[in-house]
Amino acid sequence: MQDKKTDRWSEGLRFVQLTKIRAFHAGINRTPYEALFGCKAKVGLATSSLPQDVLQDIQTEEQLEEMIENVQTIPREETDSHLQETDTIAQEKKDETVLHDGRNQSHDEDMVTKEASISVICCVCLKETSGAYTCRNCGRKVHAICGHAIRDDRYEKMEGYEANILCNLCFNIDNAGKAKVESKLNLEIQEKRMKVDSDKQFLPARLGATVRVPVPDVDRGRGDARNLLAVVMSVRENGFYRLGTAQGVLNQLYARSGFTPCRKELIRIEDVPNQEIPLRSAAIAQSTGTRVS
């Protein structure tokens, strides 16, 4: 906003978003941009697709716009010559002669073959290439130094280096798919790590123990109690607890950090009705008009 000398805060939202998606996320072990697009965020001309030798000659924005137009807009006659395939023109000249036995026989077939000149363009640097290397996924021609060499067991039987080369676009697409899978696995690992850290801080609650469950502000009135008394009815394999009150069984599971055990047993499991109720209904039913700490 200071550079643009404006007071419109919306102008800075794109820069804030760029800063957030470029920040390293410890949960997914990469930046959000890399998890979505499979490559690092492109900032500035150094990370653009323009060749480095061209960037050295650019000094103004007008030169940059002109260079982008020249790259994106190729003359029609040049495009036709670059994309023209091998054209073979066969001309047959047949001279028929009548033999002594009355049969016709064709002879002297002259084949005139004319091959048109071909110019193949690399899909990455947009320069002429011999066409020896092709992207494994899209099939477009690419330089060996412009492509990305990969190792895939499915293509080990294919001979030649060109069997395991990808252009930038296909390489980023493959990386994006792998990054999404790895990000999901990293989040699951983070979840387990947080669960282990939480279990170390809080001792497990025993079956039948009376616990104190805090009631959120949105679920209680001004005169309602801050806490709710419940009893541990069961413990799941994933470490979550099923709690019951004198009015019924709470319809949600609780982590160990979601309640505090009491010293005395005030509620028994046998006293819990066999019906599920939400936390708000249980808090209203147990409310006595005084704040219980």
Is there a domain that residue 264 lies in? yes
Is there a domain that residue 113 lies in? no
* Chain centroid offset of residue 167 CA: 19
pLDDT for 151 equals 65
Please state, as a whole number, how many other Cβ atoms lie within 10 Å of the Cβ of residue 242: 17
Q: Label each residue of 76-100 as H, E or C.
A: HHHHHHHHCCCCCCCCCCCEEEECC
State the residue range of the domain holding 282.
Answer: 210-286
pLDDT for 231 equals 94
Cα 180 to Cα 5: distance, rounded to the nearest angstrom: 40
pLDDT for 18 equals 84
Is there a domain that residue 223 lies in? yes
Is there a domain that residue 239 lies in? yes
pTM above 0.75, yes or no: no
Report the number of distinct structural domains present in the chain.
1
* Chain centroid offset of residue 113 CA: 51
b/e burial code for range 22-57 (CB count within 10 A of at least 16 → b) = eeebeebbbbbbbbebbbeeeeeeeeeebeeeeeee
CA dihedral (15, 21, 23, 29) in degrees, to 10, reads 180
Cα 231 to Cα 229: distance, rounded to the nearest angstrom: 7
Is there a domain that residue 230 lies in? yes
pLDDT for 216 equals 87
Strands 249-254 and 276-277 turn out to be: parallel
Return the structure tokens found at 208: 């039948």
Residues, the chain:
293
Instruction: List, in sequence order, every residue forming a beta bridge with 25; answer none if it has no partner.
Output: 30
Instruction: List, in sequence order, every residue forming a beta bridge with 134; answer none if it has no partner.
Output: 141
Contacts of 182 (CB under 8 A, 6+ apart): 28, 29, 30
Return the structure tokens found at 73: 């807009």
Is there a domain that residue 260 lies in? yes
The one-digit pLDDT tens for each residue of the chain (293 residues) are 677 677 788 877 888 888 888 888 888 888 998 888 888 887 776 666 666 677 777 777 787 777 767 755 444 444 444 444 434 433 443 444 444 444 444 444 443 333 434 567 887 777 777 777 888 878 888 887 777 777 655 544 444 444 578 887 888 888 888 888 999 999 999 888 887 887 778 888 889 999 999 988 887 777 778 888 999 999 987 788 999 998 899 999 998 888 999 988 888 898 898 889 998 888 888 775 433 33
Is there a domain that residue 250 lies in? yes
Is there a domain that residue 150 lies in? no
Return the structure tokens found at 260: 């505090």
H-helix or E-strand spanning residue 149: strand 148-149
